Amino acid sequence: MSLENLLFHLVDIFYKEKIVTAYVKDFKGKRLHLFLPTGKEELISHTALVSVSKEKIQGENLSFLENLLKEKNEERERLKEKFDLRELWEVVVDELREASSWELVELYLGRAPSSDEVAAFMRKILEDKIYFGFETRDFVKIRTREEVVQLLHQREKEFERLKLLSEGEAFISSLLQGKKGVLPEEREYFFLQGLKEYVLSEEASGERNKILKEILTRHGLTEPTKIVSLLIKVGFVEENWFFELEKMKFPCEFSDEELKEAEQILNQPLSLEKRRDLRHLYTFTIDAPETEDYDDALSVEEASDHITLYVHIADVSSFVKPGSLLWEGALERASTLYLPEKIIPMFPFFLSHGKFSLKKEEERVVLTFQFTLNEEGEILSFDISPSVIKVKDRLSYEEVDKWLDEGHPLFQKLYEILMKQKEKRQRAGAFAVILPEIQVRVLPDGEITVQKIEMTKARDLVSEAMILANYYTANFLKEHEIPALYRSQKEPFQVFEERETSLFYQILQLKFMAKSELSTEPNYHSGLGLSCYTTVTSPIRRALDLLIQYQLRAYLMNEKILSKEDILRILPELQSNLQRAQFLQARRKRYFLLKYLERYKKNEALAGLVLEVQGKKAKIYLPDYNLTGETLRFKEAIRPGQDVIVKLEKINPLEEVLRLQII
């Protein structure tokens, strides 16, 4: 039918995503000049045609046409319901691939149809979209059985999606109001579990999670911490759920196979072959009172003009070898996690806190680093040997500090000699900024304790002894060309001399410090002032130290060492896993520090230090907690470096919000 033949006919057309009945007044090119049920007139492409009435209507006024179009529109919508498309499709599916709408309606009705009935039929197939497909005006495609099966499946999925969307929207809206019970219990659990999975993966896999992501995005809830807040609010997860631990897939448990391997190690007798017997020495550990996994111990022998210092390190590598499950597990964990509420060890507890730990009155195999130092702190001789020891005393930092204050002859001499080693490093350019450590503990009853730990003489003594062992290990590995991993640190990007006397400049200096790096090549470590450095003194707690210890011990005992290629393969994984462990420890510590402030210091005045000022916004450092917060308003002008007194204004441990108010 040409466009001219459409003049003065009623037509059904696609118009603004709907089908409406219109009247053809004229045409221009390939566009129809239509009068619409709204009383408006528009030019619309002929391709929008769905159905054309056979009857012409001429000479009628516009008011009559407007009413007629509305009536026809309503009538055709009503007539749609008389057609059972599946019934008609079953009749023609095996006979026809396409047909005119007039023929199909006549077949269905058993008589000649009216224009309204054909138009209604076309509306029905466009609404249904399953059994028949729209080809062009008044002409349809009959879908195959395979196509119908596929479309029905798609419709079922879409119906389920819409149902999920409706339920999900109602569920999320109720959660935001702190309510439960809008859905049956099993459906609420279904969606709560979906929210938990979303938090842990942020991947919208599965229809449920895709829909949840759509709803969460609409409500501005894409941040995992906001979703966790909702889950806590309705009691689906515990208040202090450490979701990052699960999200980052840190292995908190040991597999049955790992435990079986650990049991075999536990039952393995100590082999003293090729080891020096140093059980006669007065050997002691110095640690915090709560420490239970002892990596290191010391022995000291005094002569008139020198001392002999023994640094004993638990020989974990004689039990845990490359390729074993515990070795691979240690690399995956990278380190023991010391969280405020618990310890997640790198090895099963009965090894880390038992067989490997240098416990009092227990024989243990170790690597011993033996130094002979004169009173000027110079190293006269050095030796590394596999040995066996028995710890005679378990000392705390507090005890040793007391002895040093009282002038204990042996400890005082050892301290003074080791401090000369430290002075030597400082003269060589050692450049470190050491702020007090903030220790956070969560007690079994839920109480949170915070303690500021300053660098005392006893801690300095132990630290220097470990630095000495690590440095000489690095030198030994370098000189004997044993493949290893070294720690290095470049010079600061900028140096602030004021840091010596100013906390503000100490913190500012930290921003300009280069990060420590791991590589297979020995390089200068500016923080320690040493030409090369590695770590070997904590093999129970750090995978890097275990690796270095293995290389060192294997070389000393003529066993096979790892090649440089082996270590290069390990390095990326070790670095990544170490960063993960460091992030998790820092994140959890900050969380409980904020919890502590929220719970115990809500209305207290706190000492603060202004770090940065930008307009009416400033960063404030809390020295007693090693935390930085912000203030969004202050009456008087403040400047960086200024001491202030603040109180808490807003705090959200989960979202790491710390807003302060200057008072």
Strands 379-396 and 337-338: unpaired
Q: What's this model's pTM, rounded to 2 decimal places?
A: 0.81
Poorest-pLDDT segment among 220-229, 405-414, 479-488, 613-622:
220-229
pLDDT in tens, 424-476: 999 999 998 889 999 999 999 999 999 999 999 999 999 999 999 999 999 99
Poorest-pLDDT segment among 136-140, 141-145, 213-217, 414-418:
213-217
593, with CB counted inside 10 A (0-12, 13-18, 19+), is buried
Q: Write the CB contacts of 452 (distance below 8 Å, at least 6 apart in sequence).
A: 436, 437, 438, 439, 624
Pull the structure tokens for residue 287. 């640690």
> Residue 652's pLDDT band (boundaries 50, 70, 90)?
very high
Q: Determine the distance from the C-alpha atom of residue 314 to the mean position of all C-alpha atoms in its chain, rounded to a whole number.
A: 33
Q: How far apart are CA 403 and CA 61, in angstroms?
A: 113
Task: Say whether pLDDT at 180 is over 90.
Answer: no
- Whether 547 contacts 575, CB under 8 Å: no
- Whether 551 contacts 562, CB under 8 Å: yes
pLDDT in tens, 13-70: 999 889 999 999 999 988 999 999 999 999 999 999 999 999 998 767 889 999 999 9
Poorest-pLDDT segment among 6-10, 194-198, 320-324, 562-566:
194-198
**What is the reported pLDDT for 212?**
85
Q: Which sign, positive or negative, has the C-alpha torsion 288, 290, 295, 300?
A: positive
Higher local confidence (pLDDT), 130 or 177 = 130
User: Which whole number is the average pLDDT over 368-375?
Assistant: 96
User: Which whole number is the average pLDDT over 197-214?
Assistant: 79
**What is the reported pLDDT for 17?**
86
Task: Say whether pLDDT at 1 is over 70.
Answer: no
Count other C-beta atoms under 10 Å from residue 129's C-beta: 14
Strands (E), 317-362: 337-338, 343-344
Task: Say whether pLDDT at 162 is over 90.
Answer: no
Percent of the chain with pLDDT over 70: 99
Percent of the chain with pLDDT over 90: 83
Task: Say whether pLDDT at 306 is over 80.
Answer: yes
**What is the reported pLDDT for 204?**
54
Pull the structure tokens for residue 284. 């002691």
Average pLDDT of every residue of the chain? 94
Task: Say whether pLDDT at 405 is over 90.
Answer: yes
Q: Which sign, positive or negative, has the C-alpha torsion 488, 494, 498, 502?
A: negative
Q: How far apart are CA 274 and CA 641, in angstroms?
A: 59
SS3 assignment, position 452? strand
